[in-house]
């Protein structure tokens, strides 16, 4: 029997994306051990961040981007939290698996699939009432599917205004949108572009898209809601807020670039934490080593601790270049090299940490925010959140 790719995704999701009542409890059949690392999610912080985004956007509709496992929160977790808020216009994902998983877990909000698809995928999109992001001539396929399911197909058109990644080139966009809009099978709900995050060029991008929309409008062609501003755009591209904003990272409470953290534009609260329990504490004498390739050498007699969490779980390899982990109220430096499943930390001359103590790799507290970790070791907040393993148990709280 052929393997269904969506079944594989759902199997992983069942193990890692379920909301839990505690770090050692899960709704799946997977056994979670006492010393397994876990993720905590603050529902109240998600609500706070969404309110901040809406205020910044002057109450424009918010299309919430929850791609890539909802930036570590878990696709179903975030879908439910946002839908229950009643404060979003819809959800956006990149993978078809994620879009269908949302539908199969009771998410009824509008969903925009921003990733690629072929004709076979497009039928699954339409059958699950998902909006495709279109930038190629697919009108005939849409006609067929509309007839089969007896309804119009809602969609958004992606226009390449200079990003050069995906989207119908601006010079060809008029013809494509006109063709789609004239079809009885199609409901054009929006037109979108991706900004390059280069301030001066973004002005040109916005001008090109707005000119296209105005030209189509003059011919009686509706393009629905126009959107371009991502989380990055919320900070530096207010001119491009248009009809709707499309934030991702800001909803999870992290600043998309460190330069925005102190600009007082948005007050964001991190909504996600990664924690583990110390599994082993040992004493190194001066001159003894720890880690692969003897990466750490004890300069004096020192205590070190082992955490059962590594780069397979989401701790960046560069964490040993300056990141610190919180145990109790104390921050301890990451040392040696982060391996697949273990991270070593330096405790100091006194044994102030014991096996079983909870260690926080990052959370929402001062000194341990994802931005603090990123800034200390040269990582990216995107790496910290998006690389969290989907197999980690997740607790929704607050």
Per-residue pLDDT at 158 = 98
Tokens in use for 232? 């990055």
The token duo for 279 is 């599994």
Residue for token digits 């905590």?
A: 40
Mean pLDDT computed over every residue of the chain: 93
Number of H helices, E strands in the chain: 12, 20
Helices 119-127 and 139-149, axial angle in degrees (round to 10): 40
Q: What digits encode the pLDDT tens for the residues 17-59?
A: 343 333 333 334 578 899 999 999 999 999 999 999 999 999 9
Tell me yes or no: is domain 43-252 CATH 1.10.150.130.
Answer: no
Q: Which residues contact 10 (CB under 8 A, 6 or more apart)?
A: 97, 101, 104
CA-to-CA distance for 279 and 271, rounded, in angstroms? Answer: 26
CB atoms within 10 A of CB 172: 14
Given pLDDT bands bounded at 50, 70 and 90, which one contains residue 248? Answer: very high
Q: Are 195 and 237 in contact (CB under 8 A)?
A: yes
* Confidence band of 8 (pLDDT split at 50, 70, 90): very low
* pLDDT value of position 29: 53
How would you label 387-398 residue by residue, b for 16+ Cβ within 10 Å and e otherwise? bbbbebbbbbee
Angstrom distance (rounded) from CA 162 to CA 123: 30
pLDDT tens, position by position, 123-167: 999 999 999 999 999 999 999 999 999 999 999 999 999 999 999
**pLDDT confidence of residue 398:** 84
The position carrying tokens 């076979």 is 120
Confidence of residue 3 (pLDDT cuts 50, 70, 90): very low
The whole-number pLDDT of residue 19 equals: 38
Identify the pLDDT of residue 153.
98
Residues 176-199 have a mean pLDDT of: 97
Residue partners of 313: CB distance under 8 A and separation at least 6: 37, 274, 341, 388, 389, 392
pLDDT in tens, 63-100: 999 999 999 999 999 999 999 999 999 999 999 999 99
Q: Strand, helix or coil at 215?
A: helix
Spatial distance between the Cα atoms of 132 and 116, rounded to a whole number of angstroms: 9
In angstroms, the CA 359 to CA 366 distance is 15
9-22 average pLDDT score: 38
Parse the chain into domains and list their residue ranges.
Answer: 43-252, 272-397
The hierarchical CATH code for the domain 272-397 is 2.40.37.10
Alpha carbon 360 to its chain's center: 20
Report how far residue 67's alpha carbon sits from residue 195's, in angstroms, rounded to the nearest whole number: 17
C-alpha distances in angstroms, 119 versus 93, 139, 167, 215, 324? Answer: 19, 11, 18, 30, 49
In percent, how much of the chain has pLDDT > 70? 92
């Amino acid at each position: 029997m052929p393997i269904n790719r969506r079944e594989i995704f759902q199997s992983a999701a069942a193990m890692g994306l379920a909301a839990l009542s505690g770090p050692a409890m899960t709704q799946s059949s997977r056994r979670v051990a006492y010393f397994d690392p876990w993720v905590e999610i603050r529902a109240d912080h998600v609500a706070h961040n969404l309110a901040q985004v809406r205020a910044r956007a002057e109450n424009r509709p918010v299309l919430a981007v929850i791609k890539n496992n909802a930036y570590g929160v878990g696709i179903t977790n975030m879908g439910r939290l946002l839908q229950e808020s009643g404060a979003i216009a819809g959800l956006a994902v990149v993978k078809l698996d994620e879009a269908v998983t949302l539908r199969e877990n009771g998410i009824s909000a509008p969903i925009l699939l921003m990733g690629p698809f072929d004709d076979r995928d497009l039928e699954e999109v339409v059958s699950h009432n998902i909006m495709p992001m279109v930038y190629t001539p697919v009108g005939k396929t849409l006609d067929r599917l509309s007839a089969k399911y007896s309804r119009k197909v809602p969609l958004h058109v992606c226009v390449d205004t200079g990003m050069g990644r995906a989207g119908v080139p601006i010079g060809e966009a008029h013809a494509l949108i006109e063709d789609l809009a004239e079809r009885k099978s199609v409901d054009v709900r929006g037109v979108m572009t991706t900004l390059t995050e280069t301030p001066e060029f973004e002005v040109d991008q916005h001008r090109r898209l707005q000119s296209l929309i105005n030209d189509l409008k003059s011919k009686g062609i509706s393009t629905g809601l126009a959107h371009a501003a991502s989380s990055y755009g919320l900070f530096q591209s207010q001119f491009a807020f248009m009809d709707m904003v499309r934030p991702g990272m800001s909803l999870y409470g992290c600043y998309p670039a460190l330069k925005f953290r102190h600009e007082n534009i948005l007050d964001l609260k991190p909504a996600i934490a990664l924690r583990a329990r110390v599994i082993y504490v040992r004493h190194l004498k001066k001159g003894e080593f720890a880690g692969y390739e003897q990466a750490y050498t004890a300069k004096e007699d020192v205590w070190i601790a082992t955490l059962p969490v590594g780069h397979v779980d989401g701790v960046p390899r560069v964490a040993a270049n300056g990141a610190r982990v919180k145990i109790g109220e104390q921050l301890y430096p990451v040392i040696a090299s982060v391996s697949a499943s273990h991270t070593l930390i330096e405790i100091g001359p006194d044994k102030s940490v014991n096996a079983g103590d909870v260690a926080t790799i990052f959370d929402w507290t001062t000194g341990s925010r994802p931005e603090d970790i990123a800034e200390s070791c040269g990582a990216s907040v995107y790496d910290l959140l998006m690389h969290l393993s989907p197999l980690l148990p997740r607790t929704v709280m607050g």
